[in-house]
Amino acid sequence: MAEARVPFLVVNPKNYLYGESSLELAKAADKVAEDTGIQIYFTCPLVDVRLIKENTKHLTICAQSMDSLTPGRGMAKILPEALKEAGVEATFINHAENPKTLSELYKTIRRCKELGIIAIACADSTTEAKAVAIMDPDIIIAEPTDLIGTGQIADDSYMVETVKQMLEVNPNVQPMIASGVSTAEDCYKIVKAGSDGTGCTSGILNAPSPALRVREMAEAIIKAYNERTGK
C-alpha cells in the first residue's frame, strides 16, 4: 500500500511530455527525491506509466485520472486494477480539465482505498474543498481554476483559510494549494501558509532547466515545511 508522506511535491507534466521526454524529466525528479527524501508525485500519460515505473526508484507514480469501475465491462474507462498492476501508486481525481460528478468522485475515492492507491482529489474553491474533505481522500488540491497556468498564486488569506476549513472538516487529509505556481519562492510561500505540499506544470516545463527547477522547488518546500512545523 502506497503511503502519503509530508511534505511533498507534484511534478505534473500533463500531456506536454510523453515517452522519452517524460522519462527524462522523471529520471531527474527521481534523483531529487533520492537526494532530498521528499515525496515526489510524478504524473505522465497512462501509456507511459510502466516505462517510468521500471526506470525510476524513488518517485510515487501518479495517474492523471481513474474511474471507479471493476474488472469487466467499461470500454475506454480507466480500470483501477490495471493502473495498480502497471505501477501506479497515486492518482489525480476531479482535475479541472477532467471533472467528475459528485457520485463518481466518491466512488472513485472508495476504489482507491480498496486498492491502496493514494487519492489526490481536486477542488476549485474553499467550499468545494470542504465537501471533498468529507469523502476522505488522502490529499485535496484546492486550486482556483481561473489561476491555473497564469503564474499567479492565490493570496495568503485564501491559502490560510482554505487549509483551516479543510482540516476542520477532516484533520486527516493532507491539504495542497496549487494553481499558478511557477517558482521555488511560490512553493515556499504556499507551504509556509499551511499547505503540506504543492506542484505545477508550466512552472517546471517552461523553466530554463526543468530538472533544476524541480530541485529548487523540492528544497523550498522542505525548508518551508521545517520552518512551519519546527522539524
Known catalytic residues are 95, 143
DSSP states of 42-104:
EE--GGGHHHHHHT-SS-EEEES------SSS-TT---HHHHHHHT--EEEES-TTS---HHH
Sequence-distant (≥ 6) Cβ neighbours of residue 31 within 8 angstroms: none
Distance of CA 212 to the CA centre of its chain: 19
Element (H, E) at 128: helix 126-134
Q: How many CB atoms lie within 10 A of CB 36?
A: 16
SS3 content of the chain, % helix, strand, coil (to 5): 45, 15, 40
Sign of CA dihedral 151, 24, 140, 156: negative
Sign of CA dihedral 29, 224, 121, 200: negative
